[in-house]
Amino acid sequence: MNWGQWLSRLAGTLAGPVLPPLLRRRAAQGKELAPRLRERKGFGAARPQGLLIWLHAASVGESLSLVPLMEALVARQPALHLLVTTGTVTSAALLKRRLPAAVAARVIHRFAPLDVPRWIDRFLDGWRPDAVAIAESEIWPNRTYALAARGIPAALVNARISPRSAAAWGRWAPGLARDLLGHFALVMAQSEDDAARLRALGASGAICRGNLKAAAAPLPVEVAELARMRAILGRRPVLLAASTHPGEDAVVIAAHRAMAPRLPGLLTVIAPRHPQRGPEIAALAAPLPTALRSEGGLPEAGVEVYVADTLGEMGLFFRLAPAGLGVTLIGGSLVPKGGHNPLEPARLGSPVLLGPDTSHFREVADDLLAAGGALRVGDAVTLAETATDVLTNPERASGMARAAATIADNAAHLPDELAEAILGLLPSGPGLAPEA
């Protein structure tokens, strides 16, 4: 046992007695499900017969990005079982809604065990996965060492690491980073920059296959609700701010005030990343006529700002802002949050606007900008000017939508490639590992 493994095991063991009260507190806050808290300690194994792959994703974005990968895995191995663990209640709920029936029948969901050695051991001894695929940057030491000790091959898929995190690992724990990353049989990064940073930290075989979030299917929608909302909106122009963070809503509202005189009937829809911020956004919009979806409000005539403070409805709102009638600003890009997936609105025909920070989707954003499928904005003034230009120029809006759709289509092959690589880790599974 090296020093990194020893320290990780000690830290995890010492944390064990402290974590249960924190979990109970989170359950009281609605951040955990009280009846399922034992899963966080590794209980609840119910391993089926046959091959089992464990897929892990921390939260909503990572979980949903794995859906096309799950579809590709099951399509190639119909008898395969998938154990899917997530770290949040919201991700579990959305995942259940998004999984196609054929895939859901092969999926068992559990909340991920925390990185306490006894809890991880209990989990792995109960489930005995044949291979593991972990999304993005969820590299926990005790879990990684426990997998290695059992000879369970692990892949890091859609891997990413920010320049800041890479610098911190390199400065404070280069040996530990090299040791942990060395235990992954496959490291498939979401960008060339991520792959380079991971190689520098010790994942010598890290390669870029593309961003799984760019390969997701179009977001779903309830057809009846879409028809109802379209009837309510008619031909009103729509500025949609999707998945906003604090600091962005005021910018969007200021842009609305500047645009409204030139665009009669303009409706600005703000969909916060965290729906509980709905009342706060409504207060920012005052005295503009505002309605909150969580309270049953509708974007009827006279409403200027519609706060879409619900979960799982972005497929609806992207479809309500198509080229010629609407435009979508990607939230998390006007503030330093890295931005969210710009291909979600692109797949549904909505022209895309990006703020200055698109670091989480840098290559996708660069491709969109280069192809004319997106435009960059920086503040309320440029947002108002650019959005007005797109909304008053249908030909330009349609051209942006076509260019963005092409970029989105280019990512469609990725789930199949990753599925083949992961299946190649199975004891007797088909598939080829990606070339180094």
Bond preceding residue 287 cis, omega within 30 of 0: yes
Same domain, 137 and 228: no
Q: Is residue 432 part of a domain?
A: no
Give the per-residue pLDDT at 133.
98
Which H or E run includes 86?
strand 81-86
CA distance 130 to 51: 6
Q: Is residue 436 part of a domain?
A: no
Same domain, 24 and 86: yes
CB 214 within 8 A of CB 414: yes
Domain count for the chain = 2
Same domain, 167 and 104: yes
Same domain, 349 and 200: no
Strands 238-244 and 290-292 turn out to be: unpaired
Write out the catalytic residue numbers.
62
CB 270 within 8 A of CB 307: yes
Encoded amino acid at 231, one letter: A
Same domain, 17 and 78: yes
Give the per-residue pLDDT at 428.
66
Structure tokens at 8: 């990780």
Nearest to 64 by CA among 213, 183, 230: 213
Give the per-residue pLDDT at 59.
86
Q: Is residue 201 part of a domain?
A: yes
Strands 326-330 and 305-307 turn out to be: unpaired
Instruction: Identify the CATH number of the domain in which residue 45 sits.
Output: 3.40.50.11720
CB 191 within 8 A of CB 226: no
Give the per-residue pLDDT at 29.
93
Q: Is residue 69 part of a domain?
A: yes
Same domain, 172 and 139: yes
CA distance 243 to 339: 9
Same domain, 48 and 106: yes
Strands 131-135 and 290-292 turn out to be: unpaired
| Domain assignment of residue 65, given as a range | 3-211+413-423
Structure tokens at 208: 């870029």
Which residues of 196-336 form beta strands (DSSP E)?
A: 207-208, 238-244, 267-272, 290-292, 305-307, 326-330
Q: Is residue 272 part of a domain?
A: yes
Ordered strands of the 107-111 beta sheet: 107-111, 81-86, 52-57, 131-135, 154-159, 186-189, 207-208
| C-alpha torsion 240→242→246→251, nearest 10 | -30
Same domain, 9 and 158: yes
Same domain, 42 and 188: yes
Q: In a structure prediction context, what are the per-residue pLDDT tens digits for the chain, which is 436 residues long?
A: 788 899 999 999 999 999 999 999 999 999 999 999 999 999 999 999 999 999 999 988 889 889 999 999 999 999 999 999 999 998 999 898 889 999 999 999 999 999 999 999 999 999 999 999 999 989 999 999 999 999 999 999 999 998 999 999 999 999 999 999 999 999 999 889 999 999 999 999 999 988 888 788 889 999 999 999 999 999 999 999 999 999 999 999 999 999 999 999 999 999 999 999 999 999 999 999 999 999 999 999 999 999 999 988 999 999 999 999 999 999 999 999 999 999 999 999 999 999 999 988 888 899 999 999 999 999 999 999 999 999 999 999 999 999 998 888 877 889 999 999 999 999 864 443 333 3
Coil vs helix vs strand at 211: coil
Same domain, 107 and 201: yes
Same domain, 45 and 116: yes
